[in-house]
Chain A
Amino acid sequence: IAGITQAPTSQILAAGRRMTLRCTQDMRHNAMYWYRQDLGLGLRLIHYSNTAGTTGKGEVPDGYSVSRANTDDFPLTLASAVPSQTSVYFCASSPMAVSSYNEQFFGPGTRLTVL
């Protein structure tokens, strides 16, 4: 069982280019999330999805888009990358959208550098 995987592990990207970060989970979790991790700011939510077919904006959604065509996959797209999007990106999933015993499971992260 892989759990939750992300690809690529790292990427250097020229500003203005389009980039899609992939996230796949095999736990049949309903909810999925994308965070960016920046020094001193912690983890900030970019977008989320409660179930397949629905998405929502998090704290820092500008410049990013997501889709949730099925339960397993939750790709994050940067339409036109800018240097301020240099960060480590984490995908996460949780069993249910609303639960007192919810826990988020995290992927290994993607280190993105935009030059």
Chain B
Amino acid sequence: AQRVTQPEKLLSVFKGAPVELKCNYSYSGSPELFWYVQYSRQRLQLLLRHISRESIKGFTADLNKGETSFHLKKPFAQEEDSAMYYCALKGLKGQNFVFGPGTRLSVLP
């Protein structure tokens, strides 16, 4: 079965500090992994996906198949990064996404 876990419900860091939001998954095949973000009073939107190997707003995420992880990282957090972050998985043979429970990131001044 597909499953996504995000162990931290809330993560608080100071501005300028590094941040890592953890995501682990279980899936029997080759998954596609995503990070979605929801800023205050805005709709959920795609932040990045592992297949693109891109850096968005300074965030990166590397798929580690050995550890079944897709942690989101940023070397220097900004206050505007404060938001709810969801890790999501999609099987390549299926169309449905499975979302993790989410981590609320709070960047303190």
| Residues of A in contact with B (beta carbons under 8 Å apart) | 31, 33, 35, 40-45, 48, 50, 58, 90, 92, 94, 96-98, 100-104, 106-109
Contact of B86 among A42, A97, A108 (CB under 8 A): A42
A111 to B32, CA, bound (A): 30
Q: A45-B97, A90-B43 are in contact. List 5 more A-B contacts (CB 8 A).
A: A40-B9, A42-B6, A42-B102, A98-B94, A104-B97
Partner of B99, one of A43, A50, A109: A43
A48-B95 in contact (CB<8A): yes
Please give, as numbers and ranges, the residues of chain A lying within 8 Å of B71 by CB-CB distance.
none
A interface, by DSSP: helix, strand, loop or mixed?
loop
Given contacts A45-B96, A48-B95, A98-B94, contact A106 B51 (CB under 8 A): no
Asked if B49 is at the interface of the complex by the 8 Å CB criterion, the answer is: yes
Residue of B nearest to A109 (CB): B43
Residue of B whose beta carbon sits closest to that of A101: B51
**Bound complex: CA of A88 vs CA of B95, how far in Å?**
22
Report the minimum CB–CB distance from A92 to chain B (whole Å): 8
Residue from A33, A48, A100 within 8 A of B92 (CB atoms)? A100
